[in-house]
Amino acid sequence: MLTRTERYQGYAGGAVVFAAIALFIALAVFALLSFDSGETDRPLFDAYVWRILRFTLWQAGLSTLLSVALALPVALALARQPHFPGRIWIIRLMAVPMGLPVLIGALGLIGIWGRTGILNSALAAIGLSEPVSIYGLSGILIAHVFFNLPLACRLLLAGLERLPPDYWRLSASLGLPALSIFRFVEWPAIKPLLAGIAGLVFMLCATSFTLVLVLGGGPAATTLEVAIYQSLRFDFDPQRAISLALLQIAVTASILALMALLPTPKDDSAVTGRAARRFDGTGFGARAWDGIIVVLAVIFLCLPLASILFAGLKADFARLLTTPAFWKAAWTSFWIAFLAGLISLTASIAIINARAAIADARKPGLAPRGFSALLASLSSLVLLVPPVVIGTGWFLLLRPYGDVASFAPLLVVMINAMTALPFVMRVLSPAFATHRQRTARQAANLGIFGFARLRLIDLPVLAAPLATAFSFAMALSLGDLGAVTLFGSEELVTLPWLVYSRLGSYRTADADGFALILALLCLGLTIAGTAGQRGRKDDG
Amino acid sequence: MTSNQPSGIRLQNVSLMLGTKQFRFDCELPAGAITAITGPSGSGKSTLLNLIAGFETPESGKVTIGSANVTALHPSQRPVSLVFQDNNLFAHLDLATNIGLGIHPSLKLSAEDGKRISGALERVGLGGYEKRKPGTLSGGERQRAAFARALVRERPVLLLDEPFAALDPGLRQSMAGLLLELHRETGNTVAIVTHDANEVRQLADHALFIDHGEITLQAEIEVFLMRRDVPGLTEFLKL
């Protein structure tokens, strides 16, 4: 259906993007592997490295268990109470931690669970002296549950709401008690999702960087990613960074391989908040249980958010907003996010078009089909090698050519663009596929090509998903602390880095103020993106 | 409640508002007969069935089944069995379990119950299908299994919401035949929502025509088929 030119353009674009990304990752990995530290007596993996690996897996396992186990009753309660007051807002609240910069979430959690936070003050007031510690393993677990319980809950809820509404009518007419409904209807719907959700949460927790950086500390509570950062930035021990990075790649590779075998969890219906009619859960006991569970979850999620808000409002905005440092950081952040978003979007479009061009050939040969599969796996490839590892590799690679700091902005842009790639692809590929299905025949039949096609047929429809993807990518990049920590310097200060460094210098009031601004920026972008996405669904 | 005495269904001045649609029903479905509920799509056929089954509660008026006022009763407490167009079976459970849930909702089944399940499957022509999952059956077989569950439930009222709409015409014919046989054996009261005029002719003793949320005709089948003065009915019967 495509013209010969269109097809070759598609192939070429895909090839260029693939080569660029593969090279960017491969060079970093190659630099790591070929680094010669001059030491030969030290083993590649010593006891320290193994201990960090054990802790990484242990905290990720515990975080996953807690997040999913606690999300389960919340999802069941929300599904059973379609008329729960403010239900749609509770479901939207569940999306907030996903759009919130991790560093800002950590600040909010410290405000509640920290040494001088609400919880410990309350405990002290009633005479309990043993404070709950937000630092170390317990803090990492609380934070991971804060970020991942809502994610797991939304995915579980989506699974429950995908059940045919007839099932609830049938259960009611058969008079199934709550336990039977759980055994025969709810659990069978949830069970096949659990492995996929747990895999996703485990992956996020095992590669968690910022939370562990802020809440962990000391070798007792450090993950691989943070240890890589520490060994480069503080100890300058590239040898150790290499062993850690290799382990990190091995860990992510095994998780990704396992996840490939599991079904991908889908989050669709929960976003619309359209609930099926339920005829159970009307008794007092059931309503009280569901109510308590949901309220507890809401409190757990809302308190840190409220803490960000109130701590932030105490800051002296008049002064903060006139600080040159703030405007400089905001400007840097904006440019990095803008360029990262643009690169991510361009790369995604090229990948999608190349795959479409290959699919368009009636009988693609083995080579094109292999290339198409490679392109499809590119977003996983990006997940395989975490930002800190890529950063480490390029750090070593560029060191001989002068001050790494001068290359830093470009590297941060590239790393952020790659981190955003899987998200951008997830928004764009279904939108492009639907659009092509609807228009390709007509456009080809009418002979609309090139710029005219872009202007008349593609842009009017695809503008909305493109804007969604772009704002997601920008939000992700704006809130990211990971890539900047490696290269951050006097010259390269982004907003999250500003918050983090103020935090380090005990100017917490300033940090709280900047944190609130950053949180609002990122949430605003995410909400704008989601609104665009919902609008598209209504059209279709 | 599970007695086999046939029970007539009566809706007295029932009214209900769903969104912007107003429904008013006042009708009687005779005991031990098959009543067809017909009318254009969106007219309120399924709403009427939902009111009888208890999935909708009237804002005013009264629903009685036999001598009992069921207006405020939960769907599970009403003496009715249900067969929808689709999704009558839990897709992840085998047929024996699906039908067993009709006998005991926590699936505490005796050996005797097991025999009844096999007997019911046998009766609808699915003998030996106890361990099959709904996904491995054809559409017609799934509806047969739904009938088997209605059989073991022994409720005096059977409500069917376009039960054959997803089947091809030849199959509809034989399924309607099976429904008639089962009806004659049990003598239950049947209400069937259908948009198929042939089904009305073949099955019904009695019929209702619903238009814009109100019943515009309720009559014995012979009378129903002869009337030419009800708007929309002639077009419906020609289909």
pLDDT, tens digit, 9 for 90 and up, residues A489-528: 777 888 898 888 887 766 677 888 888 999 998 888 888 7
What number is the average pLDDT over the span B87-104? 86
> Measured between beta carbons, which residues in chain A are less than 8 angstroms from residue B56?
none
Residue B76 has its nearest CB partner, among A167, A175, A188, at A175
What number is the average pLDDT over the span B8-27? 93
Pick from B47, B90, B143 the residue to mutate for testing the A interface (most A CBs within 10 Å). Answer: B90
Helix A324-360 to helix A404-446 angle, to the nearest 10 degrees? 40
In this predicted model, what pLDDT tens digit does every residue of A349-400 receive, in sequence order?
Answer: 999 988 888 887 766 778 888 888 888 778 777 888 878 888 888 888 888 8
Residue A271: is its pLDDT beyond 50? Answer: no
Q: What sign does the CA torsion over B217, B223, B226, B227 have?
A: negative
> Measured between beta carbons, which residues in chain A are less than 8 angstroms from residue B77?
175
Highest mean pLDDT among A125-129, A408-412, B7-11: B7-11
Question: Does residue B41 sit in helix, strand or coil?
Answer: coil
**How is residue B129 annotated by DSSP?**
-
- How far separated are the first and last CA of chain B, in Å rounded? 39
CA distance A416 to A466: 18
CATH of A46-305, one of 3.90.650.10, 1.10.3720.10, 2.40.160.210, 3.30.1300.10: 1.10.3720.10
Kindly provide the b/e burial profile for residues A41-68, where b requires at least 16 CB atoms within 10 angstroms of the residue's own CB.
Answer: eeeeeeeebeebbebbbebbebbbebbb
Spell out the domain ranges in chain A: 1-34+314-540, 46-305
The verdict on B84 touching A (C-beta cutoff 8 Å) is yes
Q: Which of A3-7, A385-389, A535-539, B48-52 has the lowest mean pLDDT?
A: A535-539
CA distance A96 to A108: 13
pLDDT of residue A316: 82
Structure tokens at A229: 């950062």
What number is the average pLDDT over the span A217-236? 82
pLDDT of residue A42: 67
Q: Are A262 and A155 in contact (CB under 8 A)?
A: no
Which CATH architecture group holds A1-34+314-540? Answer: Orthogonal Bundle (1.10)
What number is the average pLDDT over the span A250-261? 86
Residue A305: is its pLDDT beyond 50? Answer: yes
What number is the average pLDDT over the span B81-98? 86
* Residue A339 to residues A393, A477, A478, A490, Cα–Cα distance (Å): 22, 10, 11, 21
The pLDDT confidence band at residue A130, using thresholds 50, 70 and 90, is low
Pick from B93, B101, B143 the residue to mutate for testing the A interface (most A CBs within 10 Å). Answer: B101
Q: Which chain A residue has its CA at the smallest distance from B99's CA?
A: A174
The pLDDT confidence band at residue A36, using thresholds 50, 70 and 90, is low
What share of chain A has pLDDT > 90, as a percent? 26
In this predicted model, what pLDDT tens digit does every residue of A422-433 receive, in sequence order?
Answer: 889 888 888 888
Pairing outcome for strands B9-18 and B21-29: antiparallel
The verdict on A173 touching B (C-beta cutoff 8 Å) is yes
What number is the average pLDDT over the span A77-82? 93
B101/A180 Cβ within 8 A? yes
**Maximum alpha-carbon separation in chain A:** 80
A172/B75 Cβ within 8 A? yes
Residue A535: is its pLDDT beyond 50? Answer: no
* Residue A515 to residues A249, A307, A420, A521, B101, Cα–Cα distance (Å): 32, 11, 22, 10, 55
B54/A172 Cβ within 8 A? yes
Residue B75 has its nearest CB partner, among A164, A177, A279, at A279
Highest mean pLDDT among A217-226, A344-353, A392-401: A344-353
pLDDT of residue B2: 43
Structure tokens at A468: 């969604």
Residue B1: is its pLDDT beyond 60? Answer: no
pLDDT of residue A188: 92
The pLDDT confidence band at residue A434, using thresholds 50, 70 and 90, is confident
What share of chain A has pLDDT > 70, as a percent? 88
**Arithmetic mean of pLDDT over chain A:** 84
Structure tokens at B196: 């198929």
In this predicted model, what pLDDT tens digit does every residue of A61-70 receive, in sequence order?
Answer: 999 999 999 9
Residue A115: is its pLDDT beyond 80? Answer: no
Length of chain A in terms of residues written: 540
Q: Which of A102-116, A353-367, A465-479 has the lowest mean pLDDT?
A: A353-367
What number is the average pLDDT over the span B114-128? 93
Note whether A1-34+314-540 and A46-305 share their fold. yes
- Min CA distance, A457 vs chain B (Å)? 36
The verdict on B75 touching A (C-beta cutoff 8 Å) is yes
Residue A59: is its pLDDT beyond 70? Answer: yes
Residue A167 has its nearest CB partner, among B77, B80, B90, at B90
- Rg, C-alpha atoms of chain A: 25
pLDDT of residue A268: 52
Q: Are B95 and B129 in contact (CB under 8 A)?
A: yes
In this predicted model, what pLDDT tens digit does every residue of A329-342 receive, in sequence order?
Answer: 999 999 999 999 99
Q: Which of A1-15, A92-106, B181-195 has the lowest mean pLDDT?
A: A1-15
Q: What sign does the CA torsion over A518, A468, A208, A295 have?
A: positive
Q: What share of chain A is helix, strand, coil (3-state, %, to 5)?
A: 80, 0, 20
Q: Are A419 and A382 in contact (CB under 8 A)?
A: yes
